[in-house]
């Protein structure tokens, strides 16, 4: 499928601050960027910090006064393996080195705190079936509700509160999968057909010999996500990291299927 994505952001900086922007569609095996354009306050200089290995596109700039950011791209999303049923859970020694970091607890995903729970709740499943059971549990027990979580909310907080947004749903799914010895990581992107359009967080699990995307909120199919970033949790996939203070003036994201 082919999508057109766009983002328009305006921030005000009371004092100069460095900004790390992770807003552009990734270049990778599962999607191809046909065209794109990024502008930051017209002539504001920025430095590219693209990651050749992951295909992620990053820039750094100095935010001063009012900064306007605009991005648009046309992206072709290829076929993605998303079937979980029957996907085997690999033994630790069978995992590729790239998957190993995604077995460990991270800032927002304290997986070690969930080991007793997954043993009791999902003991009769493994591999892809375990992931399906985790997603079903999240769908039954968590409410999608804005305003109940913050940038500091962890998977444990959401597990207790039983409510959150896509970021929180992803953190719970990742934590439960890692506690089940299934590598799991966070993925951000433009999600179709979200309404209203927004930057969306999903998960990617390593079962059946490869990475497979899944959305714990059930709002976006794997083929409807234009991937931007992949990482341990929200720490790694935030579309903007501000090293200082800034005020949000306006922010919109868009995605439209063109084919």
Residue range 23-48, pLDDT digits in tens:
999 998 899 999 999 999 867 889 99
Please state whether the peptide bond connecting residue 193 to the residue before it is cis, i.e. omega within 30 degrees of 0. yes
Task: Assign domain 92-235 one CATH number from 3.30.1360.20, 3.10.620.30, 3.40.50.300, 3.40.1190.20.
Answer: 3.10.620.30
Task: Assign domain 2-78+240-257 one CATH number from 3.90.79.10, 3.30.460.10, 3.40.50.2300, 2.60.40.2250.
Answer: 2.60.40.2250
Cβ–Cβ < 8 Å for 220, 1: no
pLDDT at 79 (0 to 100): 87
Q: What residues are paired with 202 via a beta bridge?
A: 187
Residue 89 DSSP SS3: coil
Cβ–Cβ < 8 Å for 227, 28: yes
pLDDT digits (tens, 9 = 90+) for 180-230: 999 999 999 999 999 889 999 999 999 999 999 999 999 999 999 999 999
| Residue 83: both structure tokens together | 């079937």
Q: Which residues of 90-128 are buried (b: 16+ CB within 10 A; e: fewer)?
A: beeeeeeeebeebbebbebbbbeebeeebeeebeebbbb
Minimal CA–CA distance to 201: which of 172, 177, 166, 174? Answer: 166
Cβ–Cβ < 8 Å for 208, 88: yes
Cβ–Cβ < 8 Å for 21, 59: yes
> Domain locations in the chain?
2-78+240-257, 92-235
Please state whether the peptide bond connecting residue 196 to the residue before it is cis, i.e. omega within 30 degrees of 0. yes
pLDDT digits (tens, 9 = 90+) for 67-89: 999 999 999 999 888 899 999 99
* One fold for 2-78+240-257 and 92-235: no
129: enclosing H helix or E strand: helix 127-141
State the pTM of this model.
Answer: 0.95
């Amino acid at each position: 499928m082919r999508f057109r994505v766009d983002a328009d952001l305006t921030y005000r900086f009371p004092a100069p601050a460095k900004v790390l922007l992770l807003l552009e569609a990734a270049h990778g095996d599962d999607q191809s960027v046909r065209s794109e354009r990024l502008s930051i306050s017209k002539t504001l200089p920025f430095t590219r910090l693209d990651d050749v290995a992951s295909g992620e596109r990053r820039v750094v700039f100095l935010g001063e006064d009012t900064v306007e950011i605009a991005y648009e791209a046309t992206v072709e999303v290829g076929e993605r393996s998303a079937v979980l049923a029957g996907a085997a859970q690999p033994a630790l020694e069978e995992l590729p080195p790239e998957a190993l970091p995604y077995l460990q607890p991270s800032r927002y995903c304290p997986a070690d705190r969930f080991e007793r729970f997954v043993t009791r709740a999902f003991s009769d499943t493994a591999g892809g079936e375990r992931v399906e059971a985790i997603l079903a549990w999240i769908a039954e027990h968590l409410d999608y509700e804005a305003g109940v979580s913050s940038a500091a909310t962890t998977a444990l907080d959401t597990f207790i509160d039983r409510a959150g947004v896509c970021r929180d749903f992803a953190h719970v799914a990742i934590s439960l999968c890692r506690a089940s010895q299934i590598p799991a990581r966070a993925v951000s992107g433009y999600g179709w057909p979200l309404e209203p359009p927004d930057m969306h967080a999903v998960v990617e699990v390593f079962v059946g010999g490869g990475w497979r995307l899944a959305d714990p909120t059930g709002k976006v199919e794997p083929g409807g996500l234009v991937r931007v970033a992949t990482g341990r949790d929200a720490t790694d996939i935030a579309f903007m990291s501000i090293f200082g203070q800034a005020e949000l003036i306006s922010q919109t994201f868009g995605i439209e299927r063109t084919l």
